[in-house]
Amino acid sequence: MKFNKIVVSLILVTVVHACATNPFTGKKTMAFPGTENSRLFPAAFSQYNQVLSENNVVTGTKDAEMITRVGQRIASAAERWLVANGNVGYLDDYKWEYKLIDSDQVNAWCMPGGKIAFYTGILPIAANETGVAAIMSHEVVHAIANHGQQRMSAGMMQQGLALAGNIALSNDQQSLGLFNQSFGIVSNVAGMLPFSRAHETEADKVGLILMAIAGYNPDEAPELWKRMSANSGGQAPPEFLSTHPSNTTRIKNLQDLGPKAKAEAKKFGVTEFRPIN
């Protein structure tokens, strides 16, 4: 019993002290040992290069040039916002790169450290450069808010709690069996999935601000998600069983947040936006 208490105490101490600060909210976030940028970034860069080597990267086209142009503008907006809010040098270790991959996948992503990939399959849904900016800014926020680090830390905590439960119940096989049957489902539905949805909501919210500062009209973001919803044909799991908010929730949130994003952009001298075409 004493050993069990020690294990649980060690896990709690790790959770309390292994924290980083979210530059957008100022709140503490999980950053367990082994998830530091000094370790995470090199691994992400290596994985990114591997993905590029295994796929057909599009270069020299108008679409490829657009992806780079939009990415640079969003990264610059992020830098301006961070500096204005007291986070000078926050992006010093980021190595921004923007690649377009020839694939039917409707997808885009940004790895920790600023490595971004767009698939050609998402371009018809983006529909225009402003739509690309809405996607790009969302993905950039995932990287600079350290969502990858937080997800890794949450996974480590989930494993630690599972281990603690198995140790604590090791002398009660019936209870141990029930614990192992239910822990994965409960920890995912009540913990990991809401955690992921919160990241998506934050990326939507802050991404809207960044695209506005970059000169792109945030009113296009909910229109983008209307197109995303139409493309999915309404096929999606219930929100509480998903890693993402429902399309309906996202669209409403983005519509509500549009005026705030414009007001924030105005602080940076942006009062007009590029035409949506």
DSSP string spanning 41-70? HHHHHHHHHHHHHTS-EE-SSHHHHHHHHH
Residues 132, 100: contact at Cβ < 8 Å?
no
C-alpha 189/C-alpha 192 separation (Å) is 7
Domain ranges of the chain: 2-266
DSSP 277: -
C-alpha 116/C-alpha 127 separation (Å) is 19
Active site residues: 139
Amino acid at 266: K
213: exposed, middle or buried (Cβ count in 10 Å: 0-12, 13-18, 19+): buried
Structure tokens at 49: 């290069």
Structure tokens at 51: 């993905």
Residues 143, 81: contact at Cβ < 8 Å?
no
Answer yes or no: pTM beyond 0.85: no
What percent of the chain shows pLDDT beyond 70? 64
Q: Which long-range contacts (CB under 8 A, 24 or more apart) does 39-46 make?
A: 40/112, 40/113, 40/148, 40/149, 40/152, 41/93, 41/95, 41/112, 41/113, 44/111, 44/112, 44/113, 44/115, 44/148, 45/95, 45/111, 45/113, 45/115
pLDDT in tens, 5-27: 434 444 444 444 456 677 776 66
C-alpha 213/C-alpha 209 separation (Å) is 6
Ramachandran angles phi, psi of 90, nearest 5° = -60, -35
Ramachandran angles phi, psi of 156, nearest 5° = -65, -40
What tens-digit pLDDT sequence spans the chain (277 residues)?
A: 443 443 444 444 444 445 667 777 666 655 555 556 667 788 889 999 999 999 999 999 999 999 999 999 999 999 999 999 998 988 998 999 999 999 999 889 888 889 999 999 999 999 999 999 999 999 899 888 876 566 665 555 556 555 665 666 556 565 555 545 554 554 444 344 444 567 788 888 999 999 999 999 999 999 998 998 888 766 654 433 344 557 788 899 999 999 999 999 999 999 999 988 7
Average pLDDT, the chain: 78
